[in-house]
Structure 1
Amino acid sequence: MKSPALLPSALIGAVASARSMTPMAALAGAHLAGRETPGRLVLLGHPVFTAGALAMGVGELFGDKMKSAPDRTVFLGLLARVMSAGIAGAALAPKGREKAGGLLAIATATPLAYATLAGRKRVMRRIGQTKSGLIEDALVVSAGVAVVAWALNRRG
């Protein structure tokens, strides 16, 4: 059974809902490994942006554990999710369907940011900010890498 063509775009949007920089970092890693995306990879074709995406992905993982870290639903947090999801969703969409893939990723990331925040806060009350963040990191980073790997391997 063949999965819908834009499913990777929706899934990477879900990843962006929890970690805004993970989709770009996963794509940057794939780019460094010489993998090509089905859709046009905006910005990450340039080495400075590739390095920046990886650095921001790692930085976000550390910053999330700080007591002063803002909620992911503040304006700048949502803006980062929209931008990252849009670029990654477009890159993982089939050639010629980049706009639809980007829009679908954004439409997935934005409302899920509120849902993932609510879930994180619930877990944070039980086990604390650092532990809940590390668990979320493991799940989200694994999901981001898996979605990108799956999307790049399913191209035909």
Structure 2
Amino acid sequence: MIRSILMGLVAGQRGMTPLAAIAAAARRGTLPAGAPLQGLMAHPVIAGGAVALAAVEMAGDKMKTAPDRIVPIGLVVRSITSAYAGAALAPRGQRAAGAALAVVAALGASYVGWRLRCAAMGKYGQTPTGAVEDAAVLGSGLAVALTPR
């Protein structure tokens, strides 16, 4: 269940990264047996689409017009993607709990990450702080998803 919680923390910072990480894990075969939508996420077109969504979100985050991660639609997206990723990473029979834990972690991390990013942007600017955050989120998301159970 720790993987579900950790992926929730990732979703709190970037809502689309969990989908890209789960797609990578599905293609590599590191998801738990019988993970939901495993075959679909392993399809090259779906996996590519998930990666593209994550990349667009990361690029958009650097724009001055980018909304805060704590706007309602952002929290809804984080809830949905973290729930799916949390369920996909949880062992069979614990998928509902994995989804719930991931959502709680994502929502909490959204607020903490937003406050930290706001503080850092005041000193270092939007683009540099976003790039550092992207690297940490992408690396963490892939490490969580690709590490075999």
2:100 aligned partner, one-letter code: L
2:131 pairs with 1:131: no
2:11 pairs with 1:31: no
Aligned pairs (5 A) from 1:5-154 = 6-33=1-28, 35-38=29-32, 40-42=35-37, 44-45=41-42, 47-150=44-147, 153-154=148-149
SS of 1:40's equivalent in the other structure is coil
Structure 2 residues without counterparts, runs of 5 or longer? none
1:73 aligned partner, one-letter code: I
For 1:81 and 1:54, how far apart are their aligned partners in 2? 16
| Identity level (%) | 44
What is the TM-score normalised by the length of structure 2?
0.92
1:49 aligned partner, one-letter code: I
Structure 1 residues without counterparts, runs of 5 or longer? 1-5
* Higher helix proportion: 2
Report the number of matched residues.
146
User: Hey, which bits of structure 1, 4+ residues long, moved more than 4 A?
Assistant: 45-48
How far the C-alpha of 1:51 sits from its partner, in A, is 2.6
For 2:72 and 2:61, how far apart are their aligned partners in 1? 16
How far the C-alpha of 1:46 sits from its partner, in A, is 5.1
How far the C-alpha of 1:62 sits from its partner, in A, is 0.4
